[in-house]
């Protein structure tokens, strides 16, 4: 239980740090977002997917597990497209203030789900929990960046950006702590991990990678993504 509270504090801190980084060092954001993309994709491929298969293989066929992963991907896609998660310039949006509010509110929901994923991963084992936590913390950092950027680019002021940043920082901590109040069986846990793998595939491939290349389609951005995948691969193999 002490570990869960520690991770919750780290998630809160990572989101805040990402937000303030966005305010101070905007020219380096593409490298951080690129690395975050690699990290969450690495966790989905090398940790969540194998764990989901291992936990569900006695009950469900592999095709069911891959369908659950696709379902998680599509669910995240729908939320993304309907609630305008990405920040846009004023010329791309008829009502920038309204879309900025919807986007930041949705980011808070996503952060809560990220925290839920960490808590569920710790129910598998501490090793799996730490691996998922490491990837989610990098994602929380980028979430803090995106939250601040979204508010500032949609006619919001700095104080409003800090307000939404605080909400987004609290959300993953609440998600992590919420898992202390319920238990799930091994098969159900495998199903949830498969769905979260779909979430992570979408976050990395359809959210973070495009955002990292939006203004800086450079070799170093691509290198950062590959580095994130590689580090998570060796971290998972080492801990495993």
Question: What DSSP line would sit under 158-211, residue for residue?
Answer: HHHHHHHHHHHHHHHHHHHHHGGG----HHHHHHHHHHHHHHHHHIIIIIIHHH
Average confidence (pLDDT) over 18-31: 72
Helix locations, 25-61, DSSP H? 29-43, 49-56
Domain range enclosing 224 = 2-239
- Calculate the CA 153 to chain-centre distance: 21
In which region does residue 84 sit, left (phi positive, over 0), alpha (psi from -120 to 50) or beta (all else)? left
Return the structure tokens found at 206: 């359809």
Beta strands in the chain (DSSP E): none
Selected residue with higher pLDDT from 132 and 100? 132
Q: What is the pLDDT of residue 69?
A: 94
Instruction: Name the residue among 76, 47, 214 with its Cα closest to residue 145.
Output: 214
The CA distance from 122 to 1, in Å, is 10
Closest to 143 measured CA to CA, from 4, 8, 22? 22
Q: What is the pLDDT of residue 92?
A: 47
Q: How many domains does the structure of the chain reveal?
A: 1
Sign of the dihedral through C-alpha 108, 173, 124, 225: positive
Structure pTM? 0.67
Structure-block tokens of residue 38 = 């690699």
- pLDDT band at residue 1 under the 50/70/90 scheme: low
Helix axes 219-239 and 29-43, enclosed angle (nearest 10): 40
Looking up tokens 């109040």, which residue turns up?
A: 181
25-29, 151-155, 166-170, 193-197: segment of lowest average pLDDT = 151-155
pLDDT single digits (tens) 39-60: 888 888 988 898 889 889 888 9
């Amino acid at each position: 239980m002490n570990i869960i509270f520690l991770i919750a504090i780290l998630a809160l801190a990572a989101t805040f740090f990402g937000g303030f980084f966005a305010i101070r060092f905007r020219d380096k954001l593409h490298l951080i977002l690129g690395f975050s993309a690699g990290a969450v994709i690495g966790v989905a491929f090398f940790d969540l997917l194998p764990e989901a298969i291992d936990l569900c293989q006695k009950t469900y066929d592999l095709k069911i597990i891959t369908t659950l992963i696709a379902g998680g991907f599509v669910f995240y896609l729908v939320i993304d497209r309907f609630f305008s998660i990405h920040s846009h310039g004023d010329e791309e949006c008829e009502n920038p203030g309204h879309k900025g509010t919807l986007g930041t509110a949705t980011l808070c929901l996503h952060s809560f789900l990220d925290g839920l994923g960490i808590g569920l991963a710790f129910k598998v084992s501490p090793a799996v929990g730490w691996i998922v936590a490491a990837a989610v913390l990098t994602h929380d950092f980028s979430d803090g960046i995106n939250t601040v950027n979204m508010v500032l680019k949609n006619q919001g002021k700095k104080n409003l950006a800090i307000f939404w940043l605080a909400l987004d920082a609290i959300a993953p901590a609440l998600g992590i702590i919420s898992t202390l109040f319920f238990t799930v069986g091994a098969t159900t846990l495998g199903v949830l991990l498969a769905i979260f793998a779909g979430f992570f595939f979408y976050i990395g491939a359809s959210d973070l990678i495009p955002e990292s290349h939006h203004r800086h389609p450079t070799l170093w951005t691509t290198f950062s993504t590959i580095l994130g995948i590689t580090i998570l691969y060796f971290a998972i193999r080492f801990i495993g």
